[in-house]
Structure 1
């Protein structure tokens, strides 16, 4: 991992990645992946159990509250799946040696940015440009 870390791009003025630093980022991502997988499994079970609930005798307010709760649970599950995908892609980029390269302009994302937000795929300039759209 040390040899791969030394070849990762960094912005001007930043120190090169060390094998230890890259291993720590990768380990944190893998840990988050495991937690998200468990969270997704639990929410999927909870959503499925809610689908079997009998709504007989519910008034409109009860039905609306149940619908709102279900939509909220589905939204949380979707967000967790999205984070899981982002974390998995980050680990794949580390393993492939492409971690730290902006997917838009191919310049370095920046070591400091990746240490703060390890799932980042865009440099700050490209991310700002994307958010303005």
Structure 2
């Protein structure tokens, strides 16, 4: 994996560059496409709630399109946040000569960019996980209780991994 020397040398960690992120993205997309079952077979395989109609091929295609769009969007957000963070690290130098207000502002801005990158990375992983589940035929099954999540919930939030009951329990804690 290619790493950014600026961030790596300052934090002791490495992170993917735009080039390695793009390479991983194309591998993930190619892998998903090669292992993807046909839509008709998938529509028969996916579980739904008792009061819902089975998934149609069009609905599956629509969800897949939304997930692929989200993946691309989150990759772009992640690259932008990482580039901004790199720029901040380069521009900040060692911080000597900064007064307390400047140092605090730089720290706050850096923490904000780290948070934006972390959120984009988490959302990207969720969307990729949902796409993997869709391709594996396990999409729409609650990862907590094993019951169907529900088509309407998944159409509104394609990355959902919990049914409403389990999500509400998690939110309360």
What is the TM-score of this pair, normalised by structure 2? 0.73
Aligned to 2:132: 92
**Unaligned runs of at least 5 residues, structure 1:** none
**Unaligned runs of at least 5 residues, structure 2:** 1-38
Measured against aligned partners, the alpha-carbon deviations of 1:62-116 in whole angstroms (never above 9, x if no partner) come to 1101100110110011000000000000000000000011111111100001001
Shift of 1:56: 4.1
What is the TM-score of this pair, normalised by structure 1? 0.94
Q: Give the number of aligned pairs.
A: 133
CA distance in 2, matches of 1:41, 1:81: 10
Aligned to 1:9: 47
Question: Could you say which structure has the greater relative contact order, defined with CA pairs below 8 angstroms and 6 or more residues apart?
Answer: 1
What root-mean-square deviation, in Å, do the aligned CA atoms of Structure 1 and Structure 2 show? 1.1
Residues 1:70 and 2:101 are matched in the alignment: no
After superposing on structure 2, the runs of 4+ consecutive aligned residues of structure 1 that deviate more than 4 Å are: none
Aligned to 1:115: 155
